[in-house]
Chain A
């Protein structure tokens, strides 16, 4: 569950004021809106990557407003995947586990498990330069999910993909939700994608969040 209470934030020339948002536990909520409407800034605020001027942010039953991104238990998948060019797929999947000092055998088992259901087993030793767009996004998803975060934040993760790969990654996202029951906050411009994956669609318009976005 994600709750934003009266959140105000400033990003460059625009501001979002007194935003209220409630994302139910286990739901896939899609946030739509025009470019520059502040969707990514809001997502960054949830992840702890952007300071808010006022208001409170809660994840689950915890107030995380003052917590660091590391402590919030949020997985982030940006538009371009933002893979680490010097690491292999295996190292990406293990990254959060190494940082969080998981026991090696437990971390290895988690990497094998993730690679299995994300279809990455055969490419564990490849680096990002050798991955297709779909593979790269699956690696980014696996990296974000490895340490069992409570919330997954997706920032237009399918926008750079062709139609076929987009369908493939959509299936992966649906599978992730089915397997983990994770709460997903998903930003997209694509109405079809939103209707296919989201069980709630919100629109960020004129600095306000509205329910049930009309067709774009």
Chain B
């Protein structure tokens, strides 16, 4: 093999040989530039498309449109409901994602791969199907009985549940990636120092997962803010009742108020930018990247 390599090298360096002639330094540089330019054009097109959509929104709307949108009682209600539901969804998601993430990384059990696949269901299912599935679930006898005491469907709790279904899946992925990065050795040392498993978790593991927790919270909040399909099916789109910001965009579009829809969209774009900046600031790109 080594001999063959030497032979082909000598053939390539010999202009009289039958092998492909080697490029001059200038030709090599030109070839490299063309290659990189092709990659940049292909990738750059997508980046430009993303920027263009945001800029189109920015240039379409005016401060007047934004002001009028913010003055609308319906839109103000939607903003308040979005902020409230997203915050509650985030808390619920962390409450569930932390134990799931910890158990899935630290404990090996039979059927783990099945649980793993189940946890990804909200990520792969079409959003409308999630909403429809929730609707069907709440038609079953036990949950219909619950609804007589505590209304969920087409009420505010349904918004939180619909957002939670998707946002939590992303929080779980982020927390799993976070716990995978924390060496179990630290926990083991804590056990020898006198900790119970629970003390080791609260005193060593969770503080070490602080950045991952912030990333999971931010990601869950952002996913919840953008959730629309499950909410439309499971909560309806009743103004001043179950209207969140994506519902507002849909309702404004449906009545032909494009300016209002774009103004509300810009509010959501601004929230997304804040989220991206926060995630970059906390510097936990890896869990985020892996979760995405």
Q: Which residues of chain B are within 8 angstroms of A75 by Cβ–Cβ distance? A: 192-193
Contact status A69-B186, CB under 8 Å: no
**Looking at chain B's contact residues, is the secondary structure mostly helix, strand, loop, or mixed?**
helix
Are B208's CB and A84's CB within 8 A?
Answer: yes
B73 within 8 A of A: no
The answer to whether B183 and A70 have CB atoms under 8 Å apart is no
B191 touches A70 (CB 8 A): yes
Do residues B192 and A85 form an inter-chain contact, with CB atoms below 8 A?
Answer: no
- Choose the segment among A20-28, A93-101, A173-181 that binds chain B (4+ C-beta atoms closer than 8 Å): A93-101
Number of chain B interface residues as a range: 10 to 19
Residue pair A100, B192 in contact (C-beta under 8 Å): no
Interface size on A, residues (CB 8 A): 26
Partner of A100, one of B194, B204, B208, B210: B194
Which single residue of chain A is at the shortest CB-CB distance from B205? A84
Cβ contacts under 8 Å, A70 to chain B:
191-196
A90 sits at the interface (CB 8 A) = no
How many inter-chain residue pairs (CB < 8 Å) link A and B?
65
Contact partner of B192 among A47, A80, A83, A86, CB < 8 A? A47
Write the nearest CB–CB distance from B167 to chain A, whole angstroms: 27
Q: Does B207 contact A (CB under 8 A)?
A: yes
**Residues of chain A lying within 8 A (CB to CB) of residue B31:** none
* A70 vs B203: C-alpha distance when bound (angstroms): 15
Q: Taking each of A47, A69, A74, A76, which has the highest tally of chain B beta carbons within 10 Å of its own beta carbon? A: A69
B9 interface residue, CB < 8 Å from A?
A: no
B112: Cβ under 8 A from any A Cβ: no
B203 / chain A contacts, CB cutoff of 8 Å:
95, 99
Q: Point out the residues of chain A lying under 8 angstroms from B186, CB to CB.
A: 82-84
Q: What would be 16 A-B contacts, judged by CB atoms less than 8 Å apart?
A: A47-B188, A47-B192, A48-B191, A49-B192, A69-B191, A69-B192, A78-B189, A82-B183, A84-B190, A86-B210, A95-B203, A99-B194, A99-B203, A143-B189, A144-B189, A144-B193
